[in-house]
A = this chain, B = another copy of it.
């Protein structure tokens, strides 16, 4: 596939493609990924054989296990989609597949596969498969098979159950390193059969974390059913039917999953779910659709634009929702969601800075639970700070079920410290815009105080200069080397400290009791707030008056210029061509740094400063991170640079649907890019401002978007907003108290 290829057909509410070639398989499986936030499955056809036991993945949010001391991997769960088809005694895997199509509905999350099987004797069989992860009950997955012998009659078998022999293939942080070591986590398999299926449970090797996956089936017509059996670690039911030519055999399968994280014994829980529900695909799909409707009521953006654009926007929103652990306050969203094992399934600043705005404005309960993950790992961040011999709370660059550092490349894990301020920024913005003061007072304030304390200790006071330097850091531009006084990190950390001071001041005035409790809990010393205020005045920031230019860091202007076209001619990141150590001495950016700061804190810069920064940094930014395009689109739209905005917006929006970085196949869905595209559209093109109170927009819609309608949550109230190319903006309050209530019932 070529970058920018137009291969996936994008309709307003679904995507589809034709073909089932081996060389597009990984790509299709990435793009057609499905999930409901509790679990995510790659878009593999349930009955297609896998090259190895780590190829098909089903991940549960927050379910990690150790692969080394202190280092976890997101665990590949027993595969409840496991299915095999046999036609007249022959495994379908030995037959030719033709006329293959697959699709994914964003409206309901349902995937479908259609294909024809042909054997050597000319027998043709039509197969249709359907699958979704229920949003009504997020521990349920439903599958349906419809099989029709087109030009013969014969005996068909469908073998379906749970494959408990799945493995992990942990992926190194270092993108240059191959992954070759399979890890088998699952041990102590136990099987509880039912007449129409069964429940398999297993435990992870080290931490004995338990999982359970059960299934039951319901077949149409005169099918016979064998007692479920085990083959190795695969447990399955064999269904057999003798079919006439043209007769369609329909088999519905209900899967119920559960794990130790649910707080109950997993196996009985899965068994109970099977008892309480029936393998009736239509009924399950209907219940699921009702919940999705309640989600889309606030999450959707309705565009007067091309079908492709409309569909792509919904696809991005669907994938964000599919990977978000709604209501689970001990998990977050991985850099590849629940859709790929890249980055060991870890959480980065991607969540708070790139994805959270979408949830904050449209599904605020999910936004709150994402921030609660940070509150719940605050003690880990305090312990991490202690291990780094620094005070306060230091959030890790990569975290998983604990807040402890999962990043194994020293320079990033040690030096890319801005994540702590990014989290504080998200806490502040969430509380400000949602109006959720209760969250701020009870949880957010403590995060702000501990992180402000961290920053004060992390800066180095230089007495001769009477200045605080931020030494040995890396900003968002990871090509910058370990440097000092990175403007992004300095400004965000000051924002963090200022938020802490404001919050303490407000609490002191409005809730003196709570203020005292916080001071006591954090053992806040009298001089600390004075110290913080001192730091706010005395950081080192480089501004070149002559060029009206904010300079990225202490060494940036000492770097050598690079002849960019001379060293790259593909979309492949430059670190495939040049060593990181060399790259860091060129004056090029991997992704925006000063512009990123201006995207987050636009109120701190004049339009002219942002324009100077754009003119200086944009031409030397390589966009070697998928985090880059959406933020450039946002800033370009705000600057009304229409051509640039369009170029960047399309790259962010179609990141995976058009394989912009040529890595969707081997890395999965880029969740930060999904969120960044959403921000570019809503905060860039539609010009929504990030202020409390009723939404206010300054639309700058491009030619290809005539109008956009979306829903925004502000200060406890939902608003429907419509903007158009003419620059008008209509805002109307939604009277219904909570349009997400049907969704929230099940969370």
Contacts and interface: CB of A to CB of B under 8 A. Distances in A.
A183 interface: no
Given A389-B582, A469-B558, 13 more contacts: A387-B579, A388-B579, A388-B582, A389-B578, A411-B411, A460-B560, A469-B555, A471-B584, A471-B585, A472-B584, A472-B585, A482-B482, A484-B555
Nearest to A575: B389
A469 B556 CA distance: 12
A579 B411 contact: no
A547 to B, nearest CB: 11
A558 B460 contact: yes
Nearest to A411: B410
Contacts of A582: 388-390
**Chain A interface main SS type:** loop
Contact of A581 (B465, B472, B579, B585): B472
A481 interface: yes
Contacts of A555: 469, 471-472, 484
A231 interface: no
A461 interface: yes
A417 to B, nearest CB: 9
Contact of A471 (B462, B558, B579): B558
Interface string A390-434: 100000000000000000011100100000000000000000000
Nearest to A467: B558
Given A388-B581, A390-B582, A465 B411 contact: no
A389 B559 CA distance: 16
A482 B414 CA distance: 12
A557 interface: yes
A554 B554 CA distance: 10
A122 interface: no
A263 interface: no
Nearest 9 A-B pairs (CB), nearest first? A389-B582, A482-B482, A410-B410, A389-B579, A472-B481, A389-B578, A462-B558, A469-B558, A388-B579
Contacts of A481: 471-472, 482
A389 B462 CA distance: 36
Which interface class (under 10, 10 to 19, 20 to 34, 35 or more) fits A?
A: 20 to 34
Contacts of A409: 410
Interface of A: 387-390, 409-411, 414, 460-462, 464-465, 469, 471-472, 481-484, 554-555, 557-560, 578-579, 581-585
Nearest to A578: B389
In the complex, the count of this chain's copies comes to 2
Contacts of A482: 411, 472, 481-482
Given A410-B410, A410-B411, A471 B559 contact: yes
Contacts of A471: 481, 555, 558-559, 584-585
A378 to B, nearest CB: 20
A721 to B, nearest CB: 46
Contacts of A560: 460-462
A466 to B, nearest CB: 12
A71 to B, nearest CB: 13
B410 A484 contact: no
A390 B578 CA distance: 9
A432 B541 CA distance: 49
Contacts of A583: 389
A670 B252 CA distance: 72
A256 to B, nearest CB: 41
Determine which residue in A409, A465, A555 has the highest number of CB atoms from chain B within 10 A of its CB, and name it.
A555
Contacts of A469: 555, 558
A384 to B, nearest CB: 10
A579 B458 CA distance: 13
Contacts of A389: 578-579, 581-583
Among A554, A581, A584, max chain B CB count under 10 A is at: A581
Contact of A557 (B387, B464, B484, B557): B464
B414 A585 contact: no
Nearest to A584: B472
Nearest to A389: B582
26 contacts: A388-B579, A389-B578, A389-B582, A389-B583, A390-B579, A390-B582, A409-B410, A410-B411, A411-B482, A460-B558, A462-B559, A462-B560, A464-B557, A465-B558, A469-B555, A471-B555, A471-B585, A472-B481, A472-B482, A472-B483, A472-B555, A472-B581, A472-B584, A482-B482, A484-B555, A484-B558
A582 B461 CA distance: 14
Contacts of A483: 472
Contacts of A410: 409-411
Contacts of A585: 460, 471-472
A557 B465 CA distance: 10
A70 B603 CA distance: 51
Nearest to A485: B558
A484 B411 CA distance: 16
A211 to B, nearest CB: 29
A553 to B, nearest CB: 11
Nearest to A409: B410
Nearest to A414: B581
A531 to B, nearest CB: 14
A482 B480 CA distance: 12
Contacts of A464: 557
Contacts of A559: 460, 462, 471
A555 B484 CA distance: 9
Contacts of A484: 555, 558
A388 B583 CA distance: 9
A249 to B, nearest CB: 51
Q: Most B CB atoms within 10 A — which of A387, A409, A558, A583? A: A558
Nearest to A559: B460
Nearest to A458: B585
A212 to B, nearest CB: 34
A67 to B, nearest CB: 15
A584 B473 CA distance: 12
Contacts of A581: 388-390, 414, 472
